[in-house]
A and B are shown apart, each in its own frame.
Chain A
Amino acid sequence: MIPEIGHFSLILALLVALSLGFLPIIGAARGNAVWMGLARPLARTQFLLIGFSFLCLGYAFATMDYSVTYVAANSNSKLPIQFRIAAVWGGHEGSLLLWALILSVWTVAVSMFSKHLPDDMRARILGVMGLISVGFLLFMLMVSNPFERLIPAAMDGRDLNPLLQDPGMIFHPPMLYMGYVGFSVAFSFAIAALLGGHLDAAWARWSRPWTTAAWVFLTIGIMAGSNWAYYELGWGGWWFWDAVENASFMPWLVGTALIHSLAVTEKRGSFKAWTVLLAICAFSLSLLGTFLVRSGVLTSVHAFATDPRRGVFILAFLVIVIGGSLLLFAWRAPTVGRGGKFDVVSRESFLLANNVLLAVAAISVLLGTLYPLFIDALGYGKISVGPPYFDTVFAPLMTPALFLMGIGPIVRWKNASLPELAMRLRWAFGVSLATAIILPLLLGNLTPMIGLGLFLAFWIIATTVNMVYLRLRGQDQPLFTRVKAIPRAWWGMVIAHLGIAIFTLGVTIVKGFESEIAVRMAPGDVAHLAGYDFTFNGVKEIQGPNYTASRGEIRVSKNGVERTVLASEKRLYTVTNMPMTEAGISPALIHDLYASLGEPLVDGAWSVRIYHKPMVEWIWFGCLMMAFGGMLALSDRRYRIKKRAKNLAEMSEKEVLA
């Protein structure tokens, strides 16, 4: 009964979404205040209905209702409860429901925090979000219904893919979806601006916090995914340029560009049309990413053949959303107006360079991800484009981007003097260059790539420190007051940029200095790597809730002093009969020691992989710093004061009317 109620609730949600998608937008076009006013209650109703539907599916998972096809396919009675709940989004249908739920959450959030927007704009924004929701709900109800019954019911479920039975599964997908779907807000703002034909600094200021919020979630989501892959796949890699990863990285690149171009639109009124285009692209890539990952098209183009209706629906939806919004853009973009003029050397042109580089990077990822699919779909054979392509492309694209990042924030708007900049930054340049040469020499490995990576990381740090120092010095107030006097958005930028530096440092060091061995180890054998001795203690059989495992212990010591013990497991999940490796990792600021069991050989010996990963944790720490910088920017007072002032104005207006 409960699944049917959930299904019914989803149908009601579709009706509400349809009303939300049409009535307020028509109302805005006709100046009908009542129809525009419907947007807010409809957004809330939609959230309640989808939320209820989601709870129904969660209930079916929690109570192990294997008469529901989706539950039977992605769960099992032996699956621990936290994974049984996370299994709600473990497959195609449920993850679409999560997507729709998160879209309704963002819609409600916009309806709550948009009291300061003009009525027609708010109506249009919520209306566009309603239309997106219609697409997803239709898709679910027509071809991907998570509540479909299985008759006769299964005795037990087929279990969640063991790879997904991990705490990462609980956080990573919701975070990532919060990011993907969050860009729908920026998208809706852009479409609303195109429909309404006015796009000014206020529009940019309203869009900024939403875009930043989505970007923060996406950053955390990608970081969590990368970290998960690192410890779960047992190969010690943290980024594989896998199509699934690329699908999340493309909206991130474009979203980052969008954050920066919004800044120009707000402060200087320039880049208007470009900002709108980026907002459209960021969300289009999010949609593309969702479908690439969820439709099965990546595992094989022919996966579409299993249910061609899905493929047709997805393609049609993408064409309508992307094609429609681009057409609207081509038609209406001239109405948004041109921005102020700026010089060749100015903050505007630095931000323009940032935008172009990020956009080109996104295009290069898109090419590498989609081209093999096209070739395959057209029947020209199978090719793959691996990490070497992306590595080759990214180094030359990111080098100027990171270098300009050190200069951009201190350049004046409109026009600046190059010699003056050179004077100001000569020390930062010298210090970072010297560090980039001396440090690798001390560590005993100087290659061009290590030197370049370190130079860029220290360059960003040195220029940022210089910028903070100049902004804080020379006043007689106490330091704390001076720090507080500067807007949080600025500090957010400082921290996010330092996060990039930390990230770059981590990537450079781990790529330049990591080492690994694969060895055959019998109990008592010792392997040597990076000055450490790894002693294999042999394997014990253990029993997990839904798996059996061989657990191997490896003692790590240096100069006879024991440092840590790594425990790696080779699990066999009994329901799916799938083997899985759990790596044993000892994470630390300086380096990770990482061991994973390979295969059992004769006489209790195993093949074992051991990795030494210097400063690998800095990669994820850098991402967290970026996300924290974004959060700090979100908490900036100016986003709130304006609202309060507007509220006061509205209130006094009401008083006058009364």
Chain B
Amino acid sequence: MALKARHKRFVLIGIGLALIGLAAMLILNAFQSNMVFFYTPTQVEKGEVPKDTGFRIGGLVLENSLKRQDDGLTVHFVITDTAKTVPVIYKGVLPDLFKEGKGVVAQGKVGADGIFMASEVLAKHDENYMPPEAAEALKRAKEQGKTLVMPTT
């Protein structure tokens, strides 16, 4: 039995809507589960950060905090928003513009020992330019009037 033209159109529209609904679900679901939130070192110190999922922290690399292990690849450094500090471990090659006293953003998780295990370290590609997250962290610390460590640059 052949479908009438009008019914065919309904079928087409119905299938279309169902598929678009499916796509919307898929997109929103993927979006929800892949959002990465940003926190300042002060928030890390206060324990306001998620335990199981990764997040980003930003701030300045504390002067004289960069240490390298013997393998030449594992690095330890400290990120500060000038109020609080967070120790970070990263294994890999640091970006070109990573420098002590300069802005940095790291993505990763906090371990049981309170050390931030970075899976990714970002420093943007301009000498004068501060990663927005890093700038935000400094701004928030300043607003709260808790600046303890003065940035050196």
Identify the A interface with B (CB < 8 A): 161, 163, 234, 299-302, 341, 343-344, 349, 352, 356, 360, 363-364, 367-368, 371, 376, 381-386, 388-389, 392-393, 396-397, 518-520, 576-581, 598-599, 601, 605, 607, 609
B144 at the interface (CB under 8 A from A): no
Closest residue on chain A to residue B122 by CB atoms: A384
- Contact in complex: B20, A360 (CB < 8 Å): yes
The total of chain B residues at the interface (CB under 8 A) is 38
Instruction: Identify 8 residue pairs between A and B in the complex whose beta-carbon atoms are under 8 Å apart, listed by A's number.
Output: A299-B124, A360-B23, A389-B30, A396-B23, A518-B93, A520-B72, A607-B72, A607-B93
- Contact partner of A163 (CB less than 8 A), chosen from B36, B92, B125, is B125
B97 at the interface (CB under 8 A from A): yes
- Contact in complex: A299, B31 (CB < 8 Å): no
- Contact in complex: A580, B34 (CB < 8 Å): no
CA of A356 to CA of B24, assembled, Å: 12
B16 at the interface (CB under 8 A from A): yes
- Contact in complex: A609, B93 (CB < 8 Å): yes
Q: Which of B33, B34, B36 has the most CB of A within 10 A?
A: B34
Q: Which of B105-128 contact A (CB under 8 A)?
A: 124-127
Closest residue on chain B to residue A522 by CB atoms: B72
Q: Knowing that A389-B30, A397-B26, A599-B94 touch, tell me 12 more A-B residue pairs with CB under 8 angstroms.
A: A301-B132, A341-B5, A356-B19, A364-B23, A383-B37, A383-B38, A385-B36, A388-B34, A392-B33, A396-B26, A397-B23, A578-B96
CB neighbours of A363 from chain B (8 A): 27
- Contact in complex: B126, A161 (CB < 8 Å): yes
- Contact in complex: B12, A349 (CB < 8 Å): yes
B68 at the interface (CB under 8 A from A): yes
B148 at the interface (CB under 8 A from A): no
Q: Mark B65-107, 1 if CB is under 8 A from A, else 0.
A: 0001001110000000000000000011110110000000000
- Contact in complex: A384, B38 (CB < 8 Å): yes
CA of A286 to CA of B26, assembled, Å: 26
CA of A465 to CA of B80, assembled, Å: 60
CA of A609 to CA of B71, assembled, Å: 14
CA of A578 to CA of B128, assembled, Å: 10
Q: Shortest CB–CB separation between residue B147 and chain A, in angstroms?
A: 20
CB neighbours of A163 from chain B (8 A): 125
Closest residue on chain B to residue A363 by CB atoms: B27
- Contact in complex: B27, A364 (CB < 8 Å): yes
- Contact in complex: A393, B27 (CB < 8 Å): yes
CA of A316 to CA of B94, assembled, Å: 41
CB neighbours of B23 from chain A (8 A): 360, 364, 396-397
- Contact in complex: A343, B71 (CB < 8 Å): no
Known A344-B8, A518-B73, A607-B73; judge A367-B96 contact (CB<8 A). Answer: no
- Contact in complex: A344, B31 (CB < 8 Å): no
- Contact in complex: B56, A344 (CB < 8 Å): no
Question: Could you tell me the dominant secondary structure of chain A's interface residues?
Answer: mixed
Q: Shortest CB–CB separation between residue A323 and chain B, in angstroms?
A: 24
B35 at the interface (CB under 8 A from A): yes
Top 3 A-B pairs, shortest CB-CB distance: A520-B72, A598-B93, A389-B34
- Contact in complex: A381, B38 (CB < 8 Å): yes
- Contact in complex: B31, A367 (CB < 8 Å): yes
Q: Shortest CB–CB separation between residue B6 and chain A, in angstroms?
A: 10
Closest residue on chain A to residue B12 by CB atoms: A344
CA of A341 to CA of B31, assembled, Å: 37
Q: Shortest CB–CB separation between residue A595 and chain B, in angstroms?
A: 12
CB neighbours of B126 from chain A (8 A): 161, 578
CA of A56 to CA of B12, assembled, Å: 57
CB neighbours of B44 from chain A (8 A): none
CA of A315 to CA of B97, assembled, Å: 33
Q: Shortest CB–CB separation between residue B97 and chain A, in angstroms?
A: 7
Known A360-B23, A519-B73, A578-B97; judge A389-B31 contact (CB<8 A). Answer: yes
- Contact in complex: A601, B38 (CB < 8 Å): no
- Contact in complex: A393, B26 (CB < 8 Å): yes
CA of A578 to CA of B132, assembled, Å: 19
CA of A603 to CA of B50, assembled, Å: 42
Q: Mark B10-47, 1 if CB is under 8 A from A, else 0.
A: 01100010011001001100110111111000000000
CB neighbours of A393 from chain B (8 A): 26-27, 30-31
- Contact partner of A579 (CB less than 8 A), chosen from B16, B91, B97, is B97
- Contact partner of A384 (CB less than 8 A), chosen from B26, B36, B96, B135, is B36
Closest residue on chain A to residue B133 by CB atoms: A382
- Contact in complex: B31, A368 (CB < 8 Å): yes
CB neighbours of B11 from chain A (8 A): 344
CB neighbours of A364 from chain B (8 A): 23, 27
CA of A393 to CA of B33, assembled, Å: 12
Closest residue on chain B to residue A164 by CB atoms: B125
Closest residue on chain B to residue A608 by CB atoms: B93
CB neighbours of B33 from chain A (8 A): 392
Closest residue on chain B to residue A161 by CB atoms: B126
CB neighbours of A382 from chain B (8 A): 37-38, 56, 132-133, 136
Known A300-B132, A386-B34, A518-B73; judge A599-B16 contact (CB<8 A). Answer: no
Q: Shortest CB–CB separation between residue B36 and chain A, in angstroms?
A: 5
CA of A167 to CA of B51, assembled, Å: 46
Known A343-B8, A344-B8, A520-B72; judge A385-B34 contact (CB<8 A). Answer: yes
Q: Shortest CB–CB separation between residue B151 and chain A, in angstroms?
A: 18
Q: Which of A519, A599, A601 has the most CB of B within 10 A?
A: A599
- Contact partner of B135 (CB less than 8 A), chosen from A300, A368, A396, A519, is A300
CB neighbours of A352 from chain B (8 A): 16
CA of A367 to CA of B26, assembled, Å: 13
CB neighbours of A607 from chain B (8 A): 72-73, 93
Known A343-B8, A364-B27, A384-B36; judge A581-B71 contact (CB<8 A). Answer: no
Q: Shortest CB–CB separation between residue B110 and chain A, in angstroms?
A: 18
- Contact in complex: A598, B30 (CB < 8 Å): no
Q: Shortest CB–CB separation between residue B123 and chain A, in angstroms?
A: 11
CA of A449 to CA of B37, assembled, Å: 28
CB neighbours of B124 from chain A (8 A): 299
Q: Mark B128-140, 1 if CB is under 8 A from A, else 0.
A: 0100110110000
